[in-house]
Structure 1
Amino acid sequence: MDDTIAYKCPCCGASLVWGSKEQELVCEYCDNKFTEAQLKEIADEENTKAQEMNAKWNVEETDDDNGMDGMKVHICQSCGGEIIGDENSVATECVYCGSPTIITENISGVNRPKYVIPFKLDKNAAKEKLKAFYKGKRLLPDEFSKKKHIDSIKGLYVPFWLFNCEAEADITYKANRTHFWSDANYNYTKTDHYMLKRKGKLAFEKIPVDASSKMDDKYMDSIEPFDYNQLEEFSEKYLTGYYADKYDVDIKASEPRANERVKRSTEDKFRSSVKGYESVIADSSRINVKNGKAEYVMFPVWILNKKYKDKIYTFAMNGQTGKLVGELPIDKCKARKYLFGITAVIFIILQIFVWI
């Protein structure tokens, strides 16, 4: 039984990819567009005609894994080549023919997401935003702005858990209010001290926590928010032409981050209700999170990593909204030249003033 999916153009046989602009499966060679229903109808017709022509080949199995612990071999549906990926790979491409390939065993059963937000920004848009991000940064090493580096940006569906829950909170604050007045002889200051209590419930929906150990949580938090109005029922068609991994951080391991976000949001909400005081300090806080549920989803991210001076620098962009974040290095050689140039200009200006 095949464990991969590759969408092919019925007209020319080229690979189909998900078109972020068209919101359909698109052939980049003959420009035809197809819905998933149209492809299924065409495939059903072809399968009916080819039923008597099917043949199967048996391959002798071996216990020798050739040292490939944690890796799996899949067969490309386009060229028959071997696709080697780790146990979390969901969407990748064949190294031999470049065909987009979806590994179905990693998106079945409990590994199948409930929802997905499709890519809304294509690769060209992502590259233009990256160029704009680099623009004007004079001390950036040259290799970061080279076309080869920018072209290597990848579209990746990142696994997330969306948590729904309720929070019951009981928070006590110490607050001060100060009054000032004067008479003919003295200036007076009076400080009133208050003990304030806030108690109530909050409901939370769709708190995102990335479920991949490969992704830096700080980067994933920084490119939020995602527009949940564009959540779609999951379908393999959205993955074709992109990379994707299934979750490797389960719900239990993700709960502490979700709880921390609930706690911070609850404290901020309750604190905003305390007004009219010069100083407010939380004296005690009891927050109980209950009725927690989580849904497995995939969100679109454009990602680019570059190693420079033994450090990995990452650029990440929300594939739906375009919000981006990145850390950039400084070319020390350029910095010295730039500093020397400024010093030289200042020296010349000073000399001009001396001779005036």
Structure 2
Amino acid sequence: MSEIIEYKCPACGGKLEFDSGVQKMKCPFCESEFDVESLKDHDEALGTQKEDEMNWETSAGSEWKDGETEGMHIYTCKSCGGEIITDSTTAASKCPYCDNPVVMSGSFSGDLKPDYVIPFKFDKKAAKAALNKHLEGRKLLPKVFKDQNHIDEIKGVYVPVWLFDADVQADMLYKGEKIRHWSDGSFNYTERSYYSVQREGNVRFELVPVDGSTKMQDELMESIEPFDFKDAVDFQTAYLSGYLADKYDVSADESIERANDRIKNTTEQVFASTVNGYTSFNKETGNISLSNGKAKYALYPVWILNTSWEGNKYTFAMNGQTGKFVGDLPVDKSAAAKWFFGIAACVTAVCFGLSFLIF
């Protein structure tokens, strides 16, 4: 005995029934009509979808050679536990992430050597100028943010970044809808047509960055992207002179989930951009297969300033290569109250003046 196949209405999800009058499957709820063969093809397309396959080879970085770490020191933050690397000519007194004191815990050794580094293009003077411009005209900003001595504490930090390359093959299935309206003078009509839209293709990803430090917020690091890898050079310790370097505490393997999310989201956006000519559409299902997945280890230049205000932490960051600047700002409530009452008093005075003129 053959299996009875039940079809769901693509429009509303209701159970479809065969209508002998029109020789089509018809929904008793929204009255949509569908050709049986089209429904069969659509269900077969749904049934052939597979799970995502995203596998990586993550042997990024290299071992340090004898003598390469000579003169490099490591500082440990007493508060957040962050480990900062410097050369012998650069002292660190405060953590660039939480602004708390750091203590030197010895000479640096171990871990992986970065493959690449993008050197700083903007110096501290440029970073301070960008921060001052960001604060310019903010009358309700707490005084601590404007303090010049505080602004002087902005620090240049090389942030550890894992860079992922991969070839992606994707298969996406969408449900498209076209809506047509017309009138014959007596009635207004609306026709809704539904389509099964399939897209297959390949996308090549190169240098997808994932921040390798738990102290540096992923969202903050991504907000100052992009970094231009054309300026990257083979890593040498000389580039650390005068700057701090964060020691990674998120491995390449631990960064895979973030890399997969970024690759998957971008792939879905690229494929969705090819679905044109429909009033609306939505993705029904899809899968992504990843091949030739490899990782590299690099250091990216960032200027950082941290400030605390009323128990909240505020971080400013500038891309040390492009100068892109981001940072949230608080409002001094007492200053805001004075400003508001000052405006209110001014408005009241104007109103009294108008009343006097009317009399």
Settle same-fold status: TM greater than 0.5: yes
Match of 1:94 in 2: 91
Match of 1:135 in 2: 136
Write the distance in 1 (CA, Å) between the matches of 2:280 and 2:226: 32
Deviation at 1:231, TM superposition (A): 0.9
Q: Is the 8 A contact 2:179 2:279 kept in 1?
A: yes
Q: What CA deviation, in whole Å up to 9, does each residue of 1:268-325 have, x standing for no partner? A: 0000000111111111121122321000000000000011111111101100111111
Write the distance in 1 (CA, Å) between the matches of 2:154 and 2:83: 20
Q: Is the 8 A contact 1:175 1:194 kept in 2?
A: yes
1:327 and 2:322 aligned: no
Q: Is the 8 A contact 2:75 2:84 kept in 1?
A: no
Tell me the SS of whatever aligns to 1:126: helix
In structure 2, the CA distance between the partners of 1:255 and 1:105, relative to structure 1 (3 Å rule), is same
- Equivalent position amino acid for 1:291 in 2: N
Q: Is the 8 A contact 2:224 2:324 kept in 1?
A: yes
Write the distance in 1 (CA, Å) between the matches of 2:263 and 2:116: 22
- Equivalent position amino acid for 1:139 in 2: L
Write the distance in 2 (CA, Å) between the matches of 1:131 and 1:84: 29
Deviation at 1:105, TM superposition (A): 4.3
Match of 2:147 in 1: 146
Tell me the SS of whatever aligns to 2:268: helix
Matches within 5 A, 1:223-262: 223-262=224-263
* TM-score (structure 1 length as normaliser): 0.73
Write the distance in 2 (CA, Å) between the matches of 1:104 and 1:156: 19
- Is there any run of 5+ residues in structure 2 with no aligned partner, and where? 1-65, 94-103
Matches within 5 A, 1:1-356: 3-5=69-71, 84-85=75-76, 88-91=83-86, 93-94=90-91, 105-106=108-109, 111-356=112-357
- Equivalent position amino acid for 2:332 in 1: D
Q: Is the 8 A contact 1:259 1:289 kept in 2?
A: no
Deviation at 1:329, TM superposition (A): 1.2
Q: Is the 8 A contact 2:213 2:250 kept in 1?
A: yes
Write the distance in 2 (CA, Å) between the matches of 1:305 and 1:216: 12
Tell me the SS of whatever aligns to 2:157: strand
Q: Is the 8 A contact 2:75 2:92 kept in 1?
A: no
Match of 2:11 in 1: none
Tell me the SS of whatever aligns to 2:210: strand
- Is there any run of 5+ residues in structure 1 with no aligned partner, and where? 7-73, 75-82
What is the aligned residue count?
Answer: 274
Write the distance in 2 (CA, Å) between the matches of 1:88 and 1:128: 28
Q: Is the 8 A contact 1:115 1:296 kept in 2?
A: yes
Write the distance in 2 (CA, Å) between the matches of 1:4 and 1:338: 56
In structure 2, the CA distance between the partners of 1:297 and 1:305, relative to structure 1 (3 Å rule), is same
- Equivalent position amino acid for 1:332 in 2: K
Q: Is the 8 A contact 1:90 1:104 kept in 2?
A: no
Q: Which has the larger radius of gyration?
A: 2
In structure 2, the CA distance between the partners of 1:184 and 1:330, relative to structure 1 (3 Å rule), is closer
Q: What CA deviation, in whole Å up to 9, does each residue of 1:22-53 have, x standing for no partner? A: xxxxxxxxxxxxxxxxxxxxxxxxxxxxxxxx
Tell me the SS of whatever aligns to 1:111: coil
Write the distance in 2 (CA, Å) between the matches of 1:89 and 1:312: 20
Write the distance in 2 (CA, Å) between the matches of 1:222 and 1:95: 26
Write the distance in 1 (CA, Å) between the matches of 2:185 and 2:305: 71
In structure 2, the CA distance between the partners of 1:228 and 1:342, relative to structure 1 (3 Å rule), is same
Write the distance in 2 (CA, Å) between the matches of 1:154 and 1:142: 20
Q: What CA deviation, in whole Å up to 9, does each residue of 1:83-142 have, x standing for no partner? A: 75478432263369xxxx9x8844x7x611111110000000000000000011111101
Write the distance in 1 (CA, Å) between the matches of 2:247 and 2:92: 20
Deviation at 1:185, TM superposition (A): 2.0
Q: What CA deviation, in whole Å up to 9, does each residue of 1:50-93 have, x standing for no partner? A: xxxxxxxxxxxxxxxxxxxxxxxx5xxxxxxxx75478432263
Tell me the SS of whatever aligns to 1:350: helix
